[in-house]
Amino acid sequence: MNAQELLAIADDELILGWRNSEWTGIAPFLEEDVAFSSIAQNEIGHARALYQLVAAELGTTADELAFDRKPEEYRCSQFVELRLVPDWAKTIARHCLYEDADERRIKELIESDDPEVAGLAAKIDREEAYHRMHAQMWFERLQDVPQFQEALEELRPMVVERGEHLPEFEQLWEEMTEVRRSVAGATW
Amino acid sequence: MVTEERVWEALAEIPDPEIPPISIVDLGVVRGVTVSNGTVHVEFTPTFLGCPALEVMRDQMAGRIRELGAEPNVEVILDDSWSTDRITPAGREKLRQSGFAPPAPREAGGPQLVQLQSKAFKCPYCGSTETRLENIFGPTPCRSVRYCDSCRQPFEQFKTI
């Protein structure tokens, strides 16, 4: 696994964590407010740990990778860039599709020859198990709802797409990096 | 001259920033301590990767080691070596007394939804297993929320990691 591939996974986790956090305070009910906030926190934690691995190899820092690149340098997929608030059916559809694809990717990393990558992937997988159970619970609840089925069909082809960023990614990047750009070199 | 034993004692006095009744040594996040030439090397294995308490724990460990007159070197180990199985028996008892249900042992194949939705989990207040899952997630990523149908009390259940 080379640094660029790990960076793509870290970017997916960071951006999806950011999108999930957009439900904090406005989810359809309190349990999901808590759940999506926790999932977002975990995903951003995974991104940080992956950035640390990549940063050690590239001679930079996790923060610089997360916040100091230009929008076009991020390698995340369009799938995680989509801003889905306030569409709950689509949000759950993305959650189910992402956790499924992410599981396969993490399991591959666990088999990596690099012990640091394999060790971190094993740790990430133990946390992701709870995201998958949460997605499974929602899948079972919504699987017969036409709105949810349509959302799955619409989003499924996007899971593997990479390349151009969506226009809404630029807005996310502006917001995500705003504080850091406003006070260059500050420590917190 | 600082000894490893003295360092372990000092670290055992640091409370978990989020659950103060339990120490970070009881929590099992200190994997190893070695002392050489006045430097104390601590292997720190984080709980959840996104846990905001990690920096606090790391800084507190470094602070305690400086108080002992040694130079700290706290290394964060980003692998799978922390598990809720590392929480000591004393730590588990302190959790239970504070109203947190201790984690179930780690099992091969990982946790399953059907298991979380079963009645295998005990209420920390009344000991009943008539409890149900309210939410896989809770106040922090390491906890779920359950409800006891016997004493009608919601409680926090540690996730098994």
Q: Per-residue pLDDT tens for B76-127?
A: 999 999 999 999 999 999 999 999 999 999 988 889 999 899 888 999 999 9
Asked whether residue B68 falls in the same domain as residue B124, the answer is no
Query: Does residue B11 have a pLDDT over 90?
Result: yes
Please answer whether residues A53 and A120 qualify as being in contact, where contact means their C-beta atoms are separated by less than 8 angstroms: yes
What is the model's pLDDT at position B120?
A: 86
Residue A139 maps to which CATH number?
A: 1.20.1260.10
What is the model's pLDDT at position B119?
A: 87
Asked whether residue B59 falls in the same domain as residue B111, the answer is no
Asked whether residue B8 falls in the same domain as residue B70, the answer is yes
Q: DSSP class of residue B128?
A: -
Task: Find the domain containing A87 and state its range.
Answer: 3-182
Q: What separation in angstroms does the CA of B49 have from each of A49, A57, B8? A: 7, 20, 24
Q: Closest-CA residue in chain B for A116?
A: B79
- Looking at the domain assignment, is residue B85 inside a domain? no
- The whole-angstrom separation of Cα B45 and Cα B31 is 6
Asked whether residue B14 falls in the same domain as residue B65, the answer is yes
What is the model's pLDDT at position A187?
A: 79
B133 forms beta bridges with B146
| B128 CA: distance to closest CA in chain A (Å) | 24
Task: Find the domain containing B59 and state its range.
Answer: 4-76
Run of H or E including B94: helix B89-97
Asked whether residue B108 falls in the same domain as residue B55, the answer is no
Look at B137 and A123 and tell me if their CB atoms are within 8 Å.
no
Number of residues that make up chain B:
161
What is the model's pLDDT at position B7?
A: 97
In a mutagenesis test of the B interface, which of A39, A53, A116, A126 is the best target, namely the one with the most B β-carbons within 10 Å?
A126
* Through-space distance between the first and last CA atoms of chain B, rounded to whole angstroms: 37
Q: What residues of chain B lie within 8 A of the CB of A34, using their CB?
A: 135, 137-139, 145
- Looking at the domain assignment, is residue A92 inside a domain? yes
Q: What separation in angstroms does the CA of A19 have from each of A43, A50, A182, B8, B61? A: 10, 19, 22, 41, 34
Number of domains in chain B: 2
ipTM of the complex: 0.92
What is the model's pLDDT at position A1?
A: 65
Number of domains in chain A: 1
CB environment A59-77: b (16+ within 10 A), e (fewer): eeebeebbbebeeeebbbb
Per-position pLDDT tens, chain A of length 188: 689 999 999 999 999 999 999 999 999 999 999 999 999 999 999 999 999 999 999 999 999 999 999 999 999 999 999 999 999 999 999 999 999 999 999 999 999 999 999 999 999 999 999 999 999 999 999 999 999 999 999 999 998 778 899 999 999 999 999 999 998 878 77
**Global model pTM greater than 0.90:** yes
Look at A126 and B138 and tell me if their CB atoms are within 8 Å.
no
Q: For residue B9, give every residue at least 6 positions away whose Cβ sits within 8 Å of its Cβ, in sequence order, or none.
A: none
State CA B156 to chain mean position distance.
14
- The whole-angstrom separation of Cα A57 and Cα A99 is 27
What is the model's pLDDT at position B108?
A: 85
Q: What separation in angstroms does the CA of A187 have from each of A63, A183, B59? A: 11, 9, 16
Q: Closest-CA residue in chain B for A126?
A: B161
Sign of the alpha-carbon torsion through A131, B46, B17, A64: negative
- Looking at the domain assignment, is residue A187 inside a domain? no
- The whole-angstrom separation of Cα A31 and Cα A34 is 5
User: What order do you get walking across the sheet with B143-148 strand by strand?
Assistant: B100-101, B153-158, B143-148, B131-135
List the single residue in A31, A38, A116 with the smallest CB-CB distance to B134: A31
